[in-house]
Amino acid sequence: MKKNLFVALSFITILIQAQESPNIILMIGDGMGLTQISTGMYANNNQTALEDFSYVGLSKTYAFDKLVTDSAASGTAMASGVKTLNGVIGIDSKNVPQKSILEICAEQDYKTALIVTSSIVHATPASFYAKVHSRRQYEDIALQLSEHYVDLFVGGGKKHFIAREDKRNLLNEMDEYTFVNSIREFGRSNANKLGYITYDDEPPALLKGRKPALDELTKIGLEKMKAKGKPFFMMIEGSQIDWGAHANEMEYVISEFKEFDKTIQAVLEFAKADGNTLVIVTADHETGGLSLLGGNISDGKMEGKFNTEGHSASMVPVFSYGPSSELFSGIYENTAIFDKMLKAVESN
């Protein structure tokens, strides 16, 4: 009798666990096309954390009216599931504001986080909380973040909150938040809502001394999200892979990819230990039209050619791991990334 009861209770426990909403971690390597991945992998002893992912798909990145997208339109597509005009954030082609997956998750009692190596008001992170007609409306984007309910955020751009045309100090107005000034403070804080604005303007390149490292910030962020005891949505962006490609600087691209790869590894280890975390790694677009023409794996020296200082229209890969990861195989529109994340949330 006791044995039967134990079996029944074990089955119920398994059933309850299976119905728990999954954590979702969306990782975006800005400008990270397949060639950037290949280049970074070969320069990294022929290894990348992406090799451990269960499924691989391809995303069509074009904007509503342009074959070559920018980060605002592509960020909005992934965040909210709609094609829009280049430069527009969170608003569709018919001028209708759209809810993002972060906002939908928050409505379903998820905790939320954004961690980026750009300013926190840059196009990609802004796509998850802001609704503006121009990605250059940095002060408006900062104001919308100050009025939002993102639980944890890390990125640069402090000046857009405190050195404003309207003379407001938004950081002082954000009463619910604790703001920290170092990674030590970030790690020690037990605040319910936490902000870490790393630089006054855009953070510098890793090669020029950017700190703290994205993987260290992410590890701390994951610990804090898990400690809240609720499912969470987190978007992590390796923002400056794109900037290196815009500059047509191979070492810039490789160094930023390597840091992002360490971050992917940290996230993957978390997901494997947790057992109920969906991880998606992709790009908003390819930048630079990079071709890998030669190199040497033994010394990590790569030879390539950039065909543009802008973006290209190439499809970009999508890697997935964890519950519902099978949804991300195949070829699909970048808007489908939103649809698939939403399905993962609603199916539990």
- Rounded mean pLDDT of the chain? 95
Q: Who contacts 61 (Cβ-Cβ below 8 Å, separation ≥6)?
A: 69, 74, 77, 283, 284, 285, 286, 313, 314, 315, 316, 334
58, 33 contact by CB (below 8 A): no
- The one-letter amino acid code at 302 reads M
113, 225 contact by CB (below 8 A): yes
Chain segment 158-210, per-residue pLDDT in tens: 999 999 999 999 999 999 999 999 999 999 999 999 999 999 999 999 999 99
pLDDT attached to residue 347: 83
pLDDT attached to residue 9: 43
pLDDT band at 44 (very low <50, low <70, confident <90, very high): very high
Peptide bond just before 22 cis, omega within 30 deg: no
Stretch 229-233: mean pLDDT, rounded? 97
pLDDT attached to residue 13: 42
**Above 90 in pLDDT, residue 18?**
no
Chain segment 310-343, per-residue pLDDT in tens: 999 999 999 999 999 999 999 999 999 999 999 9
Q: What dihedral do alpha carbons 223, 227, 229, 231 form, nearest 10°?
A: -20
Residue 17: other Cβ atoms inside 10 A: 10
**Above 80 in pLDDT, residue 286?**
yes
Task: Report how far apart, in Å, the C-alpha atoms of 140 and of each of 104, 143, 165, 178, 239 are.
Answer: 22, 5, 11, 21, 21
CB burial string 91-114: b at 16+ within 10 A, e below: bbeeeeebebbbbbbbeeebbbbb
- Round to whole Å and give the CA distance between 52 and 32: 18
Query: β-strand 55-60 against 194-197: which pairing, if any?
Result: unpaired
Element (H, E) at 287: strand 286-287
- The one-letter amino acid code at 130 reads A
Concerning whether 38 is annotated as a catalytic residue, the answer is no
pLDDT band at 5 (very low <50, low <70, confident <90, very high): very low
- Round to whole Å and give the CA distance between 25 and 267: 8
- Round to whole Å and give the CA distance between 182 and 32: 28
Alpha helices in 134-196 (DSSP H): 138-146, 159-162, 170-173, 183-188
Chain segment 97-143, per-residue pLDDT in tens: 999 999 999 999 999 999 999 999 999 999 999 999 999 999 999 99
SS3 state at 125: helix
- Round to whole Å and give the CA distance between 254 and 288: 13
DSSP codes joined into one string, 44-86: TTT--GGGG-SEEEEEE---SS-SS--HHHHHHHHHHS----T
Give percent above pLDDT 70 in the chain. 94
Stretch 246-257: mean pLDDT, rounded? 98
Question: What is the 8-class DSSP label of residue 204?
Answer: P
pLDDT attached to residue 19: 57
- Round to whole Å and give the CA distance between 215 and 235: 13
Rg of the chain, C-alpha, whole Å: 20
Domain boundaries of the chain, sorted by first residue: 20-346
For the domain spanning 20-346, the CATH number is 3.40.720.10
- The one-letter amino acid code at 46 reads N
**Above 50 in pLDDT, residue 22?**
yes
- Round to whole Å and give the CA distance between 212 and 186: 11
pLDDT attached to residue 11: 46
Annotated catalytic residue: which of 21, 59, 71, 314?
Answer: 71
Whether the pTM exceeds 0.85: the reply is: yes
